[in-house]
Amino acid sequence: MNTTEKIRETAKKLLADKKVDLVVGFAQGSLPLRSTPYFARTPEEAENLIWSATCENNLANFLRKRPEKTAVIAKGCDVRAIVGLIKEGQINKDNLTIIGVPCEGMVDRKQICELVGGKDILEVTDTGAELILKGKDFEQTVAKADVMFGSCKTCRYNTPVLFDELIGEAVPAREADYGDIEAFEALSAEERNAYIAQEMQKCIRCYACRQACPMCYCSECFVDCGSPAWIGKSAKSVDDNALFQAVRVFHLAGRCVDCGACERACPMGIKLSLLNRKMVKDVKELFGAEAGVSLEDPPALNTFKFEDKEDFLL
Amino acid sequence: MIINKNEIPSLLDKLAAEYRVMAPVKKNGLVEFAAIKSGEEACLTYANTKKPGKEILFPQSEELFNYTVDAEGVRMQDNVDPTSTIVFGMRPCDAKSLVLLDNVFKNDQYEDVYYLTRRNNTLIVGLGCNEPAATCFCSSMACGPFSKEGSDIFLTDIGEAYVVEGISEKGKELLAKLGLAEAGAEARAAAAKLQQEVKADGTINIEGLSDKLGGMFEHPFWDRLHEKCLGCAACTYLCPTCHCFDIADEAKDCNGCRVRNWDACMFPLFTLHGSGHNPRPNGKARWRQRLMHKFNYFVERYNATACVGCGRCIKNCPVNLDIRQALADIRALD
């Protein structure tokens, strides 16, 4: 049985045995290179579940404050977010069944689209290591490893850290690599500012990043507050757009699980993970903490250790 | 009439000397409409712009007026923009969307001076689509890859050249001044063939949809449609016909401006009352609003569907919530 078949079997059994009321997973999407979050409530609906290299959304987003008994088909980064949300009291662990799926990495449709020069891709075949892309008058083969999301290329937790059942074999963890962040840190302040301004100029303040983030769940985000208006509401102020992202990153300090869902959701193609990953790297270096990798670790910002570095304080 | 493609930059230069010319340009990896200084900047081989054409007449953030308070009182300056503008190379879906938006900004109850001043001073040069994308469904939405509705002048790409047609009086007047060559019979035939034969997905049947939706407000269909929606505004902000807005004052000390910003029915803040009550308190009510507004309320009010089938919402939805599927599902309901 392949992964999709195993997922269907497991989900059908959980639903038929009434162990859960709902299975959250993915179904085939309406476009090539797309899958779509899917909510199966009957064994028949579980037949629509799939697994592929396009299951890009972080499904932890759909699990907060669920009243019913729920199972989730979760890859490594989904589980990291689930662990974080359990610790923050947003998910009741007793009501959740985690069907973990070791993840080889998801492919980035935006990169692929660029690779074929923006041409319409009408059909995609996944051969395992490669994707065969077909359009009206072209066919092109790409290695999946070359078109993977940045966050997947450096993922160290592709095998879920917590699960009730694991579908398939654990996959070897990748090496942590903050080369992208180190390169950014090496730039001058002016160059960094210019880069951020160029990216934030594209922002349309649709808040897809915030909405796609499993850890962004404030009932009222600071950007939405009208009185006081902490931040301008219009999208044309690049400074305000950058401020929105900066505050979001700070609010995710020690909580961001580096899943890249924000960047994947951005319709404007803004490189959002740069700021998030800088914070992830800092938290790891300064406090030795990584979010969502263990139920026992205390949250980084809720902890004080005598030897904590303080040299960034005034 | 006809114009060779290699003559387009010089034509745009000529126009730019007299008008503000907005054309699709590549910037930061995206194609968007921008005022061009040189005809070389225009990129007419694009599939469609990332942001919809509505932003030219109805910008995402528009400073309606500025104000200053001093010892002598309050001084206000209205920011109506009467710049004569030519939009060059707008796709038919976006051109049609402007015709739909006209209903909203000019009707028997309200005339929006900001929108209408721009509208009256803007000429649209439409550009037909020889290769509609897989996500295009304009042919299902009373539009089409060569729909001329909303265009003052219309271009059809026949390879080396564009066949140019004057559509409105305004368009014909401009063409008369430009002195382009007459198109030969062969060129006209090539354009006619494209206009007749190229179609986008025309299989989405919305006949009777408005009436059906009218009786569906309490239907259980809405219970699940929104389930995977994240509640962002990618679909509405990038939609050429979505037109809800919010007005905010942005002030510092004694200086400020009143800004009109795009709003989105997908946000929890949308229609939130001062009392704290929200008539659309959850994803279910918000998605119902989105579909009803496009395919029922707008139809009842203006006798037209508020969707042109550009497919931007499909391409840009982070969770692939496909409006074509939603419409098919509604159609399949008893």
**Predicted confidence (pLDDT) at residue B294 exceeds the cutoff of 80:** yes
The count of C-alpha atoms lying within 13 angstroms of the C-alpha of B90, restricted to the half-sphere facing its C-beta, is 34
Q: Looking at CA atoms only, how far is residue B230 from chain A in angstroms?
A: 6
Do A98 and A128 fall into the same domain? no
Residue A2 lies in a domain: yes
What Å distances lie between residue B28 and A52, A263, A271, CA to CA? 31, 16, 12
Q: Are strands A22-28 and A35-40 parallel, antiparallel or unpaired?
A: antiparallel
- Optimal mutation site among B131, B136, B232, B236, interface A, most CBs of chain A within 10 A: B232
Do A226 and A301 lie in one domain? The reply is yes
pLDDT of residue B93: 98
Same domain, A54 and A168: yes
Instruction: Say yes or no to pLDDT of A310 above 80.
Output: no
Residues of chain A found within 8 Å of residue B28, distances taken between Cβ atoms: 198, 201-202
Model confidence at A314: pLDDT above 70: no
Answer yes or no: do A245 and A139 share one domain: no
CA distance A230 to chain B (A): 11
Q: Mean pLDDT for chain A?
A: 94
In what helix (H) or strand (E) does residue A209 lie, and over which residues does it extend? Answer: helix A208-212
A123 within domain boundaries = yes
Is pLDDT above 90 for B121?
A: yes
Q: Which residues of A touch B267 (CB under 8 A)?
A: 207, 224
B155-199 pLDDT, tens digit each: 999 999 999 999 999 999 999 999 999 999 999 999 999 999 999
β partners of residue B3: B162
Task: Name which of A36-50, A96-110, B243-257 the model is least confident about.
Answer: B243-257
- Bridge-partner residues for B181, per DSSP? B2
**Mean pLDDT across B20-46:** 93
Is there a single domain that holds both residue A113 and residue A243? no
Question: What is the predicted ipTM?
Answer: 0.95
Q: Which of B28, B51, B61 is facing A198, going by the closest CB pair? A: B28
* Domain assignments of chain B as residue spans, ordered by start: 2-51+80-197, 209-332
Which residue among B227, B232, B268 places its CB closest to the CB of A265? Answer: B232
Chain A and chain B share a number of CB contacts under 8 A equal to 110
| Same-domain pairing of A185 and A209 | yes
Same domain, A45 and A115: no
Residue in chain A closest to B136 (alpha carbons) equals A120
Our CA-based measurement puts residue B239 at a distance from the nearest CA of chain A, in whole angstroms, of 12
Question: Does residue A199 lie in a domain region?
Answer: yes
The verdict on A66 touching B (C-beta cutoff 8 Å) is no
| Domain residue limits at A163 | 1-105+157-177
CA atoms within a 13 Å half-sphere pointing along the CA-CB vector of A251: 16
Residue A249 lies in a domain: yes
Is cis: bond before A228, omega within 30 of 0?
Answer: yes
A253 and A269: one domain?
Answer: yes
Name the residue in chain B with its Cα closest to that of A29. B320
The total domain count for chain A is 3
Alpha-carbon span B287 to B318, nearest angstrom: 15
Assigned domain for A152 exists: no
Q: Are residues A117 and A167 in the same domain?
A: no
d(Cα A171, Cα A158) in Å, to the nearest integer? 7
pLDDT in tens, B210-219: 999 999 999 9
As a whole number, the mean pLDDT across chain B is 96
Residue B21 has pLDDT above 90, yes or no: yes
Structure confidence by residue, pLDDT tens digits, A59-114? 999 999 999 999 999 999 999 999 999 999 999 999 999 999 999 999 999 999 99
On whether any CB of chain B is under 8 Å from the CB of A138, the answer is no
Residues A101 and A190 in one domain: no
Selecting from B232, B316, B325 the residue whose C-beta is nearest the C-beta of A211 gives B232
Q: Is 80 exceeded by the pLDDT of residue A116?
A: yes
Residues A4 and A97 in one domain: yes
